[in-house]
Structure 1
Amino acid sequence: MTSAFLPGLVTGLALIVAIGAQNAFVLRQGIRREHVGVVVGICIVSDVFLIGLGTAGIGFLIDRVPWLLNAFRWVGVAYLAAFAVLSFRSALTPQTMAAARDGAGSLRGVVLATLAFTWLNPHAYLDAVLILGNLANQHGAQRWIFAGGAFTGSVIWFTALGAGAKALSHVLNTPLTWRIVDVGVGLVMLFIAVQLALMPAI
């Protein structure tokens, strides 16, 4: 029997690499060189937990309690819109990397923001719990091998994204770069907020 690890890895990467609020935030923190390891760690642990729930068969709960996702959706819309406004405001006063680090956010604030971008996003539950969980269970006895591939995909992606952005931060040490980053992150957050707001009730 062919191992389910590779399909799990490919599927996990295909779902997680898509541009989203979480990835945009990891990229921003990497460029800022601000608590990157903590941000990456939270994203990986959260993904592993959610994929594990789906593989264990908890996905049926979301199917049967749809108001949970709808509640997360509207809280997520408000949070993303607020973060977009802050990003646009920051773009009006661009600064260098050194100046940005001088005003770096607290560890607690970064942790809370990372948790919000992960756990207030209904797409995280749809992708990790329902889609990956259902695909994993289709592999029967190898469902945890499939999940292991998806876990690995999460580790590879978030580590590469955070480390890559951090490595490039010295090259991108200009006010113009900060303006582009802040505007770009703000647009991504606003776009996803609008998408969530227009999404049909689940």
Structure 2
Amino acid sequence: MIAAATSGLVMGGTLIIAVGAQNTFLIEQSLKRQWAGLFVLLFILSDAISISLGAMGFGLLMQQYPTLISITKWAGVAFLLWIAINKIKASMADDTIVLATAQKAQSFKKALFIALAVTWLNPHFYLDTLLLMGNLASQWQQDKWWFVAGAITSSVLWFVGVSTLTARFAKHMQRPLFWRWFNRANAAVLGLVSIQLASL
């Protein structure tokens, strides 16, 4: 029981760091102080749902529909590249526009759409949570739900920790130079993730 939960916690923490698109989005929303708490909850619930479905065997079912996986992959690649290009464009504006853009609140609908897309249009999300974590959970047999509980706990600790820590430093990051390079770093992460997805 304890061993299963610990294994879920460790494995969940190891894999969650790799979902770069989610992390960069949450960091940006936390820096802007725009609905960060809601997106933390969304990401945690998404992990909980996907890992639980994986533990119930839905990962094996999904593997029987490669066309669906392919459609999701290329939709995710296109979306992430679109965001990356916009981040590059934003980083090339003059200081006044860079800061104004960083401080401007985007609509909740747009932010929610992006949050859902970087999660549910990201094949890495399915591979890590639904397939890999689901398969690992099934190996624990009677204790698989303790493994799932540990994995979900790692999501809670990670997303709450990232958002809280970022928000603490937000007041020191209101300079155009910071946002210029943050946008470039964000674009680089998204571009790298899109390349990784395309190569799957």
TM-score range, shorter chain: over 0.9
Q: After TM superposition, give the deviation of residue 149 of structure 1 in Å.
A: 0.1
**Given that residues 99 and 179 in structure 2 are in contact (C-alpha distance below 8 angstroms), is that contact kept between their aligned partners in structure 1?**
no
Distance 1:95 1:177, change over 3 A: farther
Q: After TM superposition, give the deviation of residue 96 of structure 1 in Å.
A: 8.8
Q: After TM superposition, give the deviation of residue 111 of structure 1 in Å.
A: 0.7
CA distance in 2, matches of 1:164, 1:32: 13
Q: Residue 61 of structure 2 corresponds to which residue in structure 1?
A: 61
Q: After TM superposition, give the deviation of residue 32 of structure 1 in Å.
A: 1.7
Mapping of residues 182-201 of structure 1, within 5 Å: 182-199=183-200
Find the residue that maps to 2:172 and give its secondary structure: coil
Greater share of residues in helix = 2
**Given that residues 54 and 134 in structure 1 are in contact (C-alpha distance below 8 angstroms), is that contact kept between their aligned partners in structure 2?**
yes
CA distance in 1, matches of 2:19, 2:130: 19
Q: Residue 130 of structure 1 corresponds to which residue in structure 2?
A: 131
Distance 1:120 1:62, change over 3 A: same
RMSD across aligned positions (CA):
1.8
Q: After TM superposition, give the deviation of residue 102 of structure 1 in Å.
A: 5.0
Find the residue that maps to 1:170 and give its secondary structure: helix
Find the residue that maps to 1:18 and give its secondary structure: coil
Identity across aligned pairs (percent)? Answer: 36
Find the residue that maps to 1:169 and give its secondary structure: helix
**Given that residues 38 and 111 in structure 1 are in contact (C-alpha distance below 8 angstroms), is that contact kept between their aligned partners in structure 2?**
no
Q: Which runs of 5+ in 2 are unaligned?
A: none
The one-letter code matched in structure 1 to 2:199 is L
**TM-score of the pair, normalised by structure 1:** 0.92
Q: Residue 162 of structure 1 corresponds to which residue in structure 2?
A: 163
**TM-score of the pair, normalised by structure 2:** 0.93
The one-letter code matched in structure 2 to 1:197 is A
Mapping of residues 17-28 of structure 1, within 5 Å: 17-18=17-18, 20-28=20-28
Q: After TM superposition, give the deviation of residue 189 of structure 1 in Å.
A: 0.8
